[in-house]
Structure 1
Amino acid sequence: MAAMDVVSAPLTLELLPTDTLLLILSFLDYQDLINCCYVSRRLHQLASHDPLWRRHCKKYWLISEEEKAQKNQCWKSLFIDTYSDVGRYIDHYAAIKKAWADLRKYLEPRPPQMALSLQDKMSAKRKSYSVEYKKGIVEDSRGKNLTAFCKEKKLDLRMVRKWRAEYDNLSQQVDEGNAKKRKCGSGRQPLFPELEDIICEWIADRRAKALAVRRADIQAFALAMAPQLEISPEEFKASQHWLDGFLQRYELSLRSTTLFKLEDTEVIKRALAFKSFVDGIDFSKYQLSNMIAMDETAVFMGQGSQTTVDHRGASSIYIPSTGYESARVTCILAIRLDGKKAPPLIITKGKNDKVECVSGIYVLETEKVWCTQAVIRKWVDLMLPLVLRGGQRGLLVWDSASTHRAKDIKNFLAERRIDQIMIPAGMTAYLQALDVAINKPFKDHLRMEINDYIENSMERNQHRNFVKPSLQEVVTWVKNSWDKITDSCVANALRAGYMDRKCSFKESSIAGHERLGPMVLQEMESQEIQAGIQGLESYDDVPEEDDMTVFE
């Protein structure tokens, strides 16, 4: 009876073993495989399994193993590239290609002129020649029989004669640096240039206002403007083919948004303002052990990278998914200005809401796995307790995150006699000690720990899926990675963040930056000279003539 009372978990598609799912996917058509790529990350990886696309390449495009080896591509890439060219004929392409192959086989023992004439008339695409190539052909053809030369190079006689007549223009284009381009004005001209100019101005205006412009937006605007220019819907449909040509003609492309970035002048201004603020602090009222720099970083439990080194032309590149790529904890790292590392604090999901010490690492369970104000308070009490400081003031160096700038946190720090140095917004990559010199090596060590665990220690459940790592395993990863951060690495971080008072600002990370460093140092020297000139102008302590004593 006890065995009958056990309720088994419902079997879902995600719980099936990998081999079973690959067998199921092998019965799907290419459209269904593409749809599976949008279901989940695991199905995307499995639906991209290269042997699945081998069958479709041979079924629809009749691509042989020899053709694949020549193109040095995987089966999925071959299918996608071929579909982008002749996808509209996918239902008939195999029959046409087979008929063409049979025709060529039939013509092989016959006179070659028959096959060559058919091949020339049925060429799929016109060739495009660069300006440099045309100029070289004209120079090579001088002093030679032009007809024989064109046959040798497999070029059209009239085309080469035209290049000869335009030799001066071709030379001018090469001298102007357009050797790799076609002749100016060549190629198919737009059917509605006035409309395209209006669209281009509209795109520039929207981007100047930092508004998004998508392909569908361009098509909608083009269709709305066409009637105003007396262009009928039958003449212009704003198709995808037209849109591709329009973007190419105006050198436009669909771009991803970039992270917030400051202008160079603003970076220099904020860097020198930070230097001035730090120089104005009286560090003698703090003990080195009571000054601490901190930063938060996320720790993900998956393999992270989906790239790997493999042989060229390999038919399948497969990295198994653990199913926990999005699972994460937050880790607070900190170093003291005396060059010592503080124990990390791991923030994980849970309801305990108490700080526990596990293997020398602090662990805090919270409902939200990130750094909230409550977490900041607990961390400050751990790192800079007022009792151990003996009433002396503390100093905290961190970035200008919204949690750090909150009024409640400022009042909390003031009550505990803790001052703060806040890195200016957008400057953490240049001025925050941990972000400059510690976070990357820490994450590199952490990635190696996680990969080693996945390779050697990760277990599977009854459904052959990976079991989520335990909290103890995560603590071990963080501890081992943090132990590998050397004292010299901490010293470099303090110097790079201008927190080592024995080093000058010229040794900081921003001053040593390849592009921004010279500009920062130049502006710093200019300000020092300007301050010296103002000091001379305000100095008025020259004695009067009557007060001067002359010794003979």
Structure 2
Amino acid sequence: MKEKRKSYSANLKLEAINYAKKTNNHAAAQKFNVDYTQVSRWRKKEEAIKNARKTSHRVGSGSLSLYPLAEELLKEWIMNCCLRGIAVISKDAKCRMTSLLTQEFRLLYPDAVHNFKASDRWLDRFMNRFDFSLRRRTKTSQKLPKDLDEKVTAFHEFINNLQIIIKSFKKCGLSNALDDDEIEYDIVLEDGNKENKEIIATAKTHNAEVTERNHLIGINERELHEFYFYVAEAKIMLMIFKFENVTNAKYCLLCINNYYPCIC
């Protein structure tokens, strides 16, 4: 079985180097339980080990960026993209960094045109410096809400009620009237009994060939609280009414074409 490779901190390497200077490489290797050739390699890289962090296990780790201003601008660009909901992949970051060094910072970093390589290793260091991370697809899905069943039931009820309203307007012929004509709705409030207020929605049908016609839709209800209307993509006007403290609330629509009550 192959022996697992060991790693040593910069502080331990310096201790081994200093001990080897006082004695020799074999004595240092025996004291620190490493191979003497390893001590010899450490002595050749003494300056690099001194400049590294004391707790680092790799020579060159923790070094500063060679192009700090360009990377700072790249960081701002990535954050702006995230705020606007634009996904940034590794290839985009590499291309953007190359563009910055060859255009905006060409005079400041003239050697970057030939020396900089947008490699995966550079990208990893850049992401570590600015605490960036890549989003990856996982096999674990998001947790479902606790009230999932209630929300699904409420959504199904909403769809069923919406279909009933759409079918009721189709019976009135309202959908045919709205196919080619432009409809304007004016809400007119009339004074009346407090217990029985009337809201009249006046629909004006405009047609270039036919004279202007006024049609009325009358709605009589007790304590009618809110009046909503929505225009669907199929050009069917959906009127949804909310009632407060009213039991068995019903509404009656007068057909636009013949003024007869619509029985839905």
Q: What TM-score comes out, normalization by structure 2 length? A: 0.37
Relative to its length, the structure with more strand (as a share) is: 2
**Max radius of gyration: which structure?**
2
Which structure is higher in RCO with an 8 Å CA cutoff and minimum separation 6? 1
Q: What TM-score comes out, normalization by structure 1 length? A: 0.21
